[in-house]
Structures are given as structure tokens and as C-alpha cells.
Amino acid sequence: MEPKTYFIRTYGCQMNELDTEIMAGQLEKRGLVPSSNEENADLLIFNTCSIRDLAERKVMGKLGRIGRGQKNHAIIGVTGCMAMAKKDALFRKFPHLDFVMGTNNITELGAIVDEVLYTKRPVFKTDDHFEENLDYLIAKRDNKLKAHVSIIRGCDKFCTYCVVPYTRGQEVSRPPESIVEECRRLVDAGYKEITLLGQNVNSYGKDKPEWNCFFHDLLYKIDQIPGMERIRFMTSHPIDITVELMQAVRDLPSLCEFVHFPIQAGSSRILKKMHRIYTKEQYLEKVELLRHYVPNVSLGTDIIVGFPTETEEEFLETFEVMKQIRYSIAFIYAYSPRKGTPAIRWKDDIPEEVKQDRLQRLMDLQNEIANEERQHLLGQTFEVLVERHNKDGKMLKGRTRCWKKVIFEGSEDLIGTLQQVKVHSYGHQTFIGELASPLHSLSLSCR
Ligand code: 5AD
Ligand code: SF4
């Protein structure tokens, strides 16, 4: 029977969130409506993540439980990275699954559901290559102010710990005209902030040299769209951060002064073993160059502790680099061996308690740095995109260009606008401020 309602549970990164929005758009075009909970849905999709073991375990637990209860009426499918990593093995473990659809088959969701309905057999599609024929405009976005826009899918970097090149395949850039057109429509529909997405956005255009449009070229095109207020991008590989990109961050009015610049480790030996293709020194030089061009830039990072053979001294190099760079945001992870990656052949030799201890030490350091940064920022005025009411329903809430949360008092009609807010205190990971008078001078520092 044709399903009438759907529910998609999303795990993992922003790329998955966007894929969920695209799948929801496809289903709604077909006439399905969202179900308020997964128990009642006629079509239930788990859009999954494989980046670390914990992410997979969460889905496996969920699939096991759902299997026992819900099978009688719902079509159940697994999409996303686990579909690619586990493929048809998922059917053996969860015989109640109706389909497994890989990250490169997202255009085929409708056809896959049809096949399940008509054949009453499990359907399995996990192509290795992505054909750039996806209708992004169909995406069903709940947020009316901020949108994710995909510019490149896949990753060609092959860091030794990472499953992404295997679960998302080779890099495929999306044509610039299609990206600009989507951004233009979003701006016309009232969107104020667009985050350009890719596993490595800086590789944009390298797979299509004939377009002669690389990442910074694309940014210039998007910045020119009338009414474009804010552009962000996620995520970057340090090796591909060019001087042209740094200049774009400096020069383009809508491009936010925040760069996610994941170092992963502070020791050049570990970086080599991770196949990150830069040394600590080269990374530090690039950060210096970026700060030379954009002195007020905020930096984010990802770090893995406990990579195979990482010694205490090598860990301390990571610690020192964090102290030196002073990131605004750091995502810190314990190494998790992934099947199919080159690193799986090395023994996972750092005991869990050592990994956790290293993780904790870096988190404590990052908290200290973030506290000092906050103190330094108090009294300054920032541009805030006002997104909604705070939980208390009284204050308004938004983010600065450098991704800091701010709450302040103001009337509801400010939601959806950009305001200057002077911050005076801090609590619960959020700055508290007040609307600055129009004559108030703008803060130069984002950090
Ligand atoms: N173990 C731990 N962390 C990982 N990441 C990627 N693969 C692994 C892994 N096997 C982290 C990296 C990456 C972020 C998205 O996830 O830091 O930048
Ligand atoms: Fe994974 Fe490295 Fe590609 Fe990032 S650059 S997605 S860490 S392989």
C-alpha cells in the first residue's frame, strides 16, 4: 500500500541533514506528509553516519528495537554512510529492513520505494559514483533563515582513519550556475545565511578544471547575489586553503570571518601517518598567513587523540599547538578504528582510558581558552542574525558572524534581521547583550 506518512531520523553531519531535507522534499512531492513520530510513520528512514563506532552503534541499537515493534506496517529503509559501509550485510542483521540506499543514489529514493511496494522484496542500491543530476531545489527546509547548500560531494583526500572517501565516494563538484541559482532563490525567499557544504569545499572545481571556477571564484559569484547577507562554508582541508581564499574572507562583505581549519594532530609524525599531507610547521605557517590577511578571523578545528602509536610527547605537541593557536571552537574525538580504512591495519594500541584522559585534557584546555576569549569579547558589539526567541520565550537569540551565541532583549519583529548587539556578560555557553544604538561603533574583533 502506498505510504502516506514518513519520518526520517538523521544522524551525523550537516551533509546528512541536507540529504534528509532533499529526501523529505522528494517524498512530499509524491504526496507523503511528515509523521510527528517514528512509531506511526508508514515510511521510516534512518539516514545514518559511520564516522565513529558510537555513531554506528546508536543506529544498530535503534534498528534492532524498531524491528521487533514496528515491522507490521512500515516500510523501513537505511540511507547514508552506514548503507555504504555495511551494504547488504544490513539485511542479514536486520531482516525486517525493506531497503538500503547509498549516498550516491539519493535521486532514486522514489524508484526504490516503488520497487519495494511492487516486488515486496528488499531493495539494495549503493553505487560507488555520484551522478550530478540531483534536484537540490526540492529540499524541504524547516529553517526559514539559514540554509545549507551542497557545492561538492565526496572526498579524494583519503586520510588513513576516515571512512568518508569510501562512504561518499570521489569528489564531484556541482556546476556553479546551479549553486548560484539555488542561492539566489534562497535569498529571494528571505534566507539570510547560507552555509556552503562539502567534505572539502576548498577542492571545489578541481575535478572540473574546464569550468575554471575554483572555490574562491565561486565565493565571489555568490557574494554578488543582491541581498546576500551571510555566507559560511564547511569544511576545509588545510592543504587546500589558498591565499585567494584568505583574500576572499578578507574582502567579501557577506563571507563570515570564521574558518574551520581542522588540524587533527599536532605531531608531524602522526600527521604523516594520518596522511594529512602537511606538517605541523606548514599548518602553523598557513594559520599565520590567514591571520595576516584576516586579523579578526575565528578558527575552528577537529582533533583526534589516541591515533595508533601516538606517544604522550606527541599528544603534548597537539596540546601545545592548541595553546598557541587558540581556536574559538574545537571538536575533539578519541580515535575509533573504522573497517575499510588504511588505519585499521595498525593495532588500536592506545588504551581507552589513555584516549579519554587525553581527550579530557584537551577539552579542559579548550574551555580555558574559550573562557579567556569570552572575557576579552565582553563590552564589544557584534552583528547578530536574530533567529528566534530564547527558551524562556522572552529574550531573542542569534549568532554572530563568528558563530557565537548571543541573547538580548528586543521585540519579536527583529527575528530574521541583522542587529548590532553589545555583549556585557556570559552564561550557559551564550553571551548576554543589549541592542546597540545605531551610532555605536562596530567591533573590529570577532575573536
Ligand atoms: N576516529 C575518530 N575521529 C574521526 N574523525 C574522522 N574519522 C575518525 C575516526 N576514525 C573525525 C575527524 C574529522 C571529523 C569529522 O571526525 O576529526 O575531521
Ligand atoms: Fe575524511 Fe580526510 Fe576527507 Fe576529511 S579530508 S572527509 S577527514 S578523508
pLDDT score, position 324: 97
**Any ligand 1 atom below 6 A from CB of 167:** no
- Angstrom distance (rounded) from CA 281 to CA 286: 9
Residues of the chain with CATH 3.80.30.20: 136-376
3-state SS record for the chain: CCCCEEEEEECCCHHHHHHHHHHHHHHHHCCCEECCCCCCCCEEEEEECCCCHHHHHHHHHHHHHHHHHHCCCCEEEEEEHHHHHHCCHHHHHCCCCCEEECHHHHHHHHHHHHHHHHHCCCEEECCCCCCCCCCHHHCCCCCCCEEEEECEECCCCCCCCCCHHHHCCCCEECCHHHHHHHHHHHHHCCCCEEEEECCCHHHCCCCCHHHCCCHHHHHHHHHCCCCCCEEEEECCCHHHCCHHHHHHHHHCCCECCEEECCCECCCHHHHHHCCCCCCHHHHHHHHHHHHHHCCCCEEEEEEEECCCCCCHHHHHHHHHHHHHHCCCEEEEEECCCCCCCHHHHCCCCCCHHHHHHHHHHHHHHHHHHHHHHHHHHCCCEEEEEEEEECCCCCCEEEEECCCCEEEECCCHHHCCCEEEEEEEEEECCEEEEEECCCCCCCCCCCC
Q: Which of 159, 236, 277 to mutate to test the pocket of ligand 2 (most atoms within 8 A of CB)?
A: 159
pLDDT score, position 447: 47
Task: Domain 5-125: give its CATH code.
Answer: 3.40.50.12160
pLDDT score, position 71: 56
Architecture per CATH, 136-376: Alpha-Beta Horseshoe (3.80)
Which atom of ligand 2 has the smallest separation from the CA of 155? Answer: 3
Residues of the chain with CATH 3.40.50.12160: 5-125
pLDDT score, position 73: 73
Distance 262 CA to ligand 2 centre (A): 10
pLDDT score, position 18: 96
**Any ligand 1 atom below 6 A from CB of 346:** no
Q: If you compute the radius of gyration of the chain from its CA atoms, what whole number of angstroms results? A: 23
Task: Domain 378-440: give its CATH code.
Answer: 2.40.50.140
> Model confidence over 236-256: pLDDT tens digits?
999 999 999 999 999 999 999
Burial class (CB in 10 A: 0-12, 13-18, 19+), 146: middle
pLDDT score, position 134: 86
Distance 52 CA to ligand 1 centre (A): 7
**Any ligand 1 atom below 6 A from CB of 348:** no
Which atom of ligand 2 has the smallest separation from the CA of 162? Answer: 1
| pTM exceeding 0.85 | yes
Distance 85 CA to ligand 1 centre (A): 15
Q: Which residues of the chain have pLDDT under 70?
A: 68-72, 437-447
Residues of the chain with CATH 2.40.50.140: 378-440
> Model confidence over 285-307: pLDDT tens digits?
999 999 999 999 999 999 999 99
Nearest ligand to the C-alpha atom of residue 355: 1
pLDDT score, position 225: 98
